[in-house]
Chain A
Amino acid sequence: MDEFLSEKEQLEGIRQWWRDNGWHLVGGITLGAAVLVGWNQWTAYEQRQAESAATLYQELRAAAIDDFDNEVADHLERLRINYASTPYADQGGLLMARVYLENNNIQLASDELRYVMERSADAELALVARLRLARVLTYEEAYQEALALLDIDAGMFSGRYNEVRGDIHVALGNPDNARLAYAQALTAGDSEMIDRVLVQMKLDDLPAVISPDPEINP
């Protein structure tokens, strides 16, 4: 403010400024407040959703342990419809797959695993589902399909992926491919991801590569 202006002029200046800018200021604050309120409500809504989903998942778990019936499948259906954006929908799918396997319904188990593998927002959980699906397919003797599923870059899961790949080659009667897969499983990075002792046993169980001619055998 110019110090040579009279008090009245100064006051007039302030009024003028307010007339020019007042609405912008009020508008800005109102918008800020509206966004804030909206944000809070959104997070509160998300939290309520997650809590309800968690509760439903708990119920599913309890029901699955108790006894299998259609009610269990119904729980999962509700999780998928109402709480698709929560991780409980995926976890419910994985759990149902196990329940189906225990009740010898291989087809439905595969469906659940495939659903999680294809739709989960959690990329790592999808890798878990993929591995499980490949194992179920191997049981069904759909070997080529299982191998195709495993044929991706599985990152830190590659040890387990290779182990299952080895198992499939054994079933297919390809000991050389199996040997390669098991060896890769054993060399893959971290040792916590596979049962090294078991993989070594499977490797040692393969028939000899070397010629059966005793003269060449060292």
Chain B
Amino acid sequence: MLQGFREGAGRWITIAVLGLIAISFIFWGIDFTTLGTTFAAKVNGQEVSLIDFEREVQNQQSQYQELYRAELTDELRGELRRNVLERLIRQQALLDRIRTSGYQISDDRLTASIRTIPAFQVDGEFSIDLYRSQLLNQGLSPSGFESLQREQLELLELQQGILNSSFYMPNEFRRYLEVFNQRREIAYALFEVDTLLEKIFVNEADIEAHYALNEDLYLSEESVDLQYIEVLGSAIAEEVEYSTETLEAYYEEEKYRFQTEEQRKARHILFANGDDAELEIRAQMALMRIEAGEDFLKLADELSDDVGTNNQGGDLGWLGKGALEGPFEDALFIMEVGDTQGPIKTDFGYHVIRLDDIVFGDVQPFEAAKEELAVDYQNREAEELFYSLATELADLSFAAFDELETVSTQMNLPLKEVSNFKRSENASVFSFSEPVLQAAFSREVLELGENSALVELADDHVLILRVDAHYPSVQQPYEEVRAEIEEELARVQAEAEAFERVTSLTTLLREGGEGQVFTEEQNGNWRETVWVERTTTEIPTEILAASFRLEKPRGTRIFEHVAMTNGDQALLVLSTVEAGQPESVPREQRDQRLAQVAQQTGMYEFSGYASELRETATVRIPEEIFDPAFY
């Protein structure tokens, strides 16, 4: 190809190709990271970074563990990864739309929004010092944070656009009130199992037959006798001893906690755009103008190249030592309140500084801090002791293999016992029984008789256990379960009878009969015609729900059998449906409701927008992401 270039055959091709190469290097450089999987997904060609994805998965996992105090199963973990990725893909699809559409937040609006974030404010005022240190804590650079914030604002612009323009038409709102405030006229009969139960007699033969047929339903629950040794951190702390000398030494170590640093409130004007010599001269001139009596704040607005502060009169907020670069700090911390100094050179450029206020540092003396120190000291020592005890317990139990008595003697810790410990008896014995159950009924402990591994109930509470005796599940003798079966069969029979009555009553009513007398004769409760609303509370919930699920009757009443959750049976009679009356709702309430539903409509629309974007996006997910071997 180069030969071709030289011979001038493709002069213009040469020019074009070289140009393209130049452009591609300038814009994209060489990206080695595309070799191997560095992304969790590609959405319309844009990457969802693997780091962001794994970080988010981590967060969710630890939240889950905090909440349920248990490890995730592989299945749940897979589910969680899928959900997190799905959310990030949706987010990425939206971001892509924002970029291609051209939603734009200007620097001014970005700055203004950051300044209002309470986390960066001291006494309601933005502090650049706090801003930087907060970001440092989060592991973010200002430019990184600012671009994230910008993305969020641009997203919000799109979302708010859809929400703020949404509306609800008068006909829609009328219909909404009509169905929402609808009233229905019902009557019902309720036949209660408990009432019918009294007259039911179950044959002995039936009970025996049921037992014979369903033996495997009547098994005793498996249980174990447990032995365990525990280490409890809170018990250790109180026993840690200390002397005044140890506390004094501890005070010296921890002194920083009992001091407040000196803070200085400053303003600056920054000269950053241009070459050094020119900047220095401009800074000098600014200083002269200030000395001549011009207002510092106005000059900051006019001259400063620091976009973060120039609108605020150059205000940097309160600064502690170590917040800013050497020369700036050196100057600031020898100035007097009201002084203006400059030009001072830092990596940012040349500064003119004014010191507005000082809060001097303070030290809390040993005597005042003593009690707090003692508690902290005990906790710290106890923590170390707890870990060494826990480790020792784990080591000795592992060595002892299948008994804990020698461990108990060696460590001088009591060997505790629980007998008849069952899976279903969760709450009683241990503060947190899930991991105890897992350990006690594991193969190693239950079947092989080994000591368990260290079981963690809380950050400062661990134990080792073994199974002393195992009582497997056995068939329960007839006499023990007879009463239980009798009750069960009686209930089934009573439910059937109740249902029968509902059926007869339905026939009777259809033929034009009168319900109340029949119902009461049959030991049921008759509820005479009543108007109900969706919010009515005096009617059983199953009946109320059924009343509103029935279609509108055309001329005749509608009869519906309703099975209650406790086994009772009911017959519901729906006679009339009356639409809600919008006019009967107080004006103020109505307006409030209208604003609410209009806003809600907008939310459904935005949600449709985002989902549709996700559906139509081109998404590529590397297989490894959901391969358990990979994570």
Contact = CB atoms under 8 A, between A and B. Distances in A.
Interface of A: 17, 20-21, 24-25, 27-29, 31-33, 35-36, 46-47, 49-51, 53-55, 61, 85-87, 91, 94-95, 97-98, 101-102, 121-125, 127-128, 131-132, 135-136, 138-139, 155-157, 159-160, 167, 170-171, 190, 192-195, 198, 201-202, 204-210, 212, 214-215, 217
Given A50-B104, A167-B175, A208-B552, A125 B15 contact: no
Interface stretch (B19-27, B387-395, B408-416, B472-480): B19-27
- For B11, B162, B167, B548, the residue with the greatest tally of chain A CB atoms inside 10 Å of its CB is B167
B611 A212 contact: no
B5 interface: yes
B587 interface: no
A16 B184 CA distance: 100
Given A24-B14, A27-B18, A122-B101, 15 more contacts: A28-B17, A31-B16, A32-B22, A97-B165, A124-B612, A132-B166, A135-B172, A156-B614, A193-B604, A201-B180, A201-B548, A205-B182, A207-B551, A208-B553, A209-B551
A208 B549 CA distance: 11
B19 A156 contact: no
A195 B600 contact: yes
Contacts of B15: 24, 27-28, 31
A207 B182 CA distance: 14
B513 interface: no
Given A167-B175, A205-B182, A35 B19 contact: yes
Given A87-B103, A127-B612, A207-B552, A61 B180 contact: no
B613 interface: yes
Given A20-B8, A195-B600, A91 B608 contact: no
Contacts of B171: 138-139, 171
Contacts of B157: 54
B158 interface: yes
A98 B167 CA distance: 6
Contacts of A155: 612, 615-616
B607 interface: yes
A23 B429 CA distance: 89
Chain B, interface SS category: helix
Interface size class of B (residues with CB under 8 A): 35 or more
14 contacts: A24-B11, A28-B19, A29-B19, A32-B22, A95-B161, A124-B608, A124-B612, A155-B616, A190-B607, A193-B611, A195-B604, A198-B180, A208-B558, A209-B551
Contacts of A86: 101-102, 104
A205 B179 contact: yes
A98 B166 contact: yes
B342 to A, nearest CB: 33
A91 B609 contact: no
Contact of A32 (B6, B23, B549, B551): B23
Interface string B149-176: 0000000011001101111011110011
